[in-house]
């Protein structure tokens, strides 16, 4: 971590904890001192966790959050993408169930003129991250030599690699301690953690997808908007063009939850057979990137450009070229036979009527039990297992027709998952009223609600 000149004196950690406990505000030198001590081991974990708990209850001002974010960015490598031509864009989701929008939005953005050099971590969650999903394509490589990365960024405008091991090391340490001390759910700590990684990854344009609901970090839309406003402000202060979509994560996004299944669904969506919710959000995220980058004059034009790239097949062609450029064998993805789980079990609708709700958090738990998630980074995951929903919320059902397919390693696991899946679903006699998937967009100028946005997304 490079040390600014103003870090001349040391503080006493005990005093910093007391200051925050009593509601005080830190300056840059105090935050710098703390993070330096976290990284060099001179501040013991028990003092850092006490401070994290004080921050959890007392919060951080916007200025403190900016200082913390900036110090975390400088704690490790900062990617310099300036030698790669064009406008570099990134998108980030705060985490959802069945969220494979990156796989769809990335190639669409690339064919519309943006350059995507994306770093993606392996997930520690209940379901896989983008890196895990892509590893279900045989041969796909997540590490590239710098010269190959540069070549691919110029030739394809699309590269995805695993996160460099020295990107934001202070965040890795703090996150591990937060995870063990129930201090993850703090708006300023989440904002600093997410934005430090995005800023260090070097993109000029950043579009966030901040999720709320049963399957997300944030319980409700109001808190998601607050988090988004903070992150957008941090990005703006760091000189990036940034906006955040606020989206519901009550039910899984699209039809698939599970690594290979989600890659298959992404390809199907790019072929033009996407579920409406997944298509809408993927196009909205792509369009927002194009609009922020100045490649579209309006949000509506951004959405239309993305939709055209999907409808005329350029997005699919780019997705397959990208996979092959990084060593992926796309034959089975193109011809079928990509889904290879040992057992496939059909879950049938227990009654007629409508599918009213599907609990995203419980679906994530089911898919984790099938083997698609991990508890430690080194854990192996099963890329082939998961759930494919034949029906989505609001769909009409006839008793006995397929509701979902379970992909599992054994019949026993599939049966247990099927029973759990049925109890995660709610049914109704009448057409349920579903809230919009996109609640609004937080921009540097303010919040735009769905009622004003929907005309742009057509
Ligand atoms: N994701 C992150 O990267 N950091 C957090 O603190 C929470 C979610």
Residue nearest to atom 6 of ligand 1 (CA): 190
3-state secondary structure of 397: strand
CA dist 380 and 372 (Å) reads 9
Instruction: Give the mean pLDDT per block of 10 residues along the chain (458 residues).
Output: 57 96 97 96 96 98 98 93 93 94 98 95 74 95 90 95 87 93 94 96 96 93 97 98 98 97 98 97 98 98 98 98 97 92 97 98 95 78 96 98 97 98 98 97 98 94
**Do the strands 402-408 and 446-449 form a parallel or antiparallel pair, or are they unpaired?**
unpaired
Contact 347, 341 (CB under 8 A): no
Residue in 20, 36, 74, 92 annotated catalytic: 92
3-state secondary structure of 275: coil
Ligand 1 contacts CB of residue 190 (under 6 A): yes
Q: Which of 140, 137, 146, 91 is nearest to 114 (CA)?
A: 91
What's the number of CA atoms in the CB half-sphere (13 Å) around residue 434? Answer: 19
136 carries an active-site annotation: no
pLDDT of residue 4: 58
Residue nearest to atom 3 of ligand 1 (CA): 194
171 carries an active-site annotation: yes
Residue nearest to atom 2 of ligand 1 (CA): 194
Ligand 1 contacts CB of residue 124 (under 6 A): no
CA of 349 to the centre of ligand 1 (A): 37
**Would you say the C-alpha torsion 96, 97, 103, 104 has a positive or negative sign?**
negative
CA dist 219 and 395 (Å) reads 25
Ligand 1 contacts CB of residue 194 (under 6 A): yes
**Do the strands 205-212 and 241-248 form a parallel or antiparallel pair, or are they unpaired?**
parallel
Gap between the terminal Cα atoms of the chain: 47
Contact 75, 35 (CB under 8 A): yes
Contact 264, 397 (CB under 8 A): no
Give the bridge partners for 345, in sequence order: 406
Q: Which two tokens stand for residue 445?
A: 């100028």
Residue nearest to atom 1 of ligand 1 (CA): 194
């Amino acid at each position: 971590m490079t040390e600014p000149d103003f870090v001349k004196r040391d503080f006493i950690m005990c005093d910093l904890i007391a200051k925050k406990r009593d509601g005080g505000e830190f300056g840059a030198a105090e935050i710098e001192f703390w993070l330096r001590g976290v990284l060099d081991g001179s501040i013991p974990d028990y003092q850092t966790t006490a401070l994290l708990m004080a921050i959890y209850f007392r919060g951080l001002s916007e200025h403190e959050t900016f200082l913390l974010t900036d110090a975390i960015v400088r704690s490790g490598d900062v990617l310099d993408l300036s030698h790669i031509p064009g406008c570099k864009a990134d998108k980030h989701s705060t985490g959802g169930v069945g969220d494979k929008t990156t796989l769809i939005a990335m190639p669409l953005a690339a064919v519309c003129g943006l350059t995507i050099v994306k770093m993606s971590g392996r997930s520690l969650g209940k379901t896989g991250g983008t890196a895990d999903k892509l590893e279900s394509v045989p041969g796909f490589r997540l590490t590239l030599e710098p010269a190959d990365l540069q070549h691919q960024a110029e030739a394809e405008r699309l590269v995805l690699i695993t996160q460099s091991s020295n990107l934001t090391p202070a965040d890795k340490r703090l996150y591990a301690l937060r995870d063990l001390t129930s201090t993850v759910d703090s708006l300023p700590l989440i904002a600093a953690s997410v934005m430090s990684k995005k800023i260090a990854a070097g993109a000029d344009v950043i579009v966030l997808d901040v999720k709320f609901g049963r399957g997300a970090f944030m319980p409700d839309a109001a808190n998601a908007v607050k988090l988004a406003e903070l992150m957008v402000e941090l990005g703006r202060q760091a000189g990036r063009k940034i906006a955040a979509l606020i989206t519901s994560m009550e039910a899984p996004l699209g039809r698939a939850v599970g690594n290979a299944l989600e890659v298959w669904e992404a390809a199907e969506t790019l072929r033009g057979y996407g579920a409406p919710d997944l298509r809408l959000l993927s196009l909205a995220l792509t369009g927002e990137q194009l609009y922020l980058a100045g490649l579209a004059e309006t949000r509506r034009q951004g959405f239309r450009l993305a939709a055209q790239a999907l409808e005329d097949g350029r997005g699919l062609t780019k997705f397959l070229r990208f996979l092959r450029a990084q060593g992926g064998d796309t034959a089975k993805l193109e011809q079928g036979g990509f889904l290879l789980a040992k057992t496939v079990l059909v879950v049938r609708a227990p009654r007629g009527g409508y599918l009213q709700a599907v609990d995203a958090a419980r679906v994530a738990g089911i898919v984790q039990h099938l083997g698609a998630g991990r508890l430690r980074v080194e854990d192996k995951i099963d890329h082939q297992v998961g759930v494919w929903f034949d029906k989505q919320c609001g769909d009409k059902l006839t008793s006995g027709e397929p509701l979902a397919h379970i992909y599992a390693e054994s019949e026993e696991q599939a049966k247990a998952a099927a029973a759990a899946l049925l109890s995660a679903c709610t049914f109704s006699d009448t057409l349920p009223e579903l809230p919009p998937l996109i609640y609004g967009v937080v921009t540097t100028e303010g919040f735009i609600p769905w009622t004003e946005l929907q005309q742009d997304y057509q």
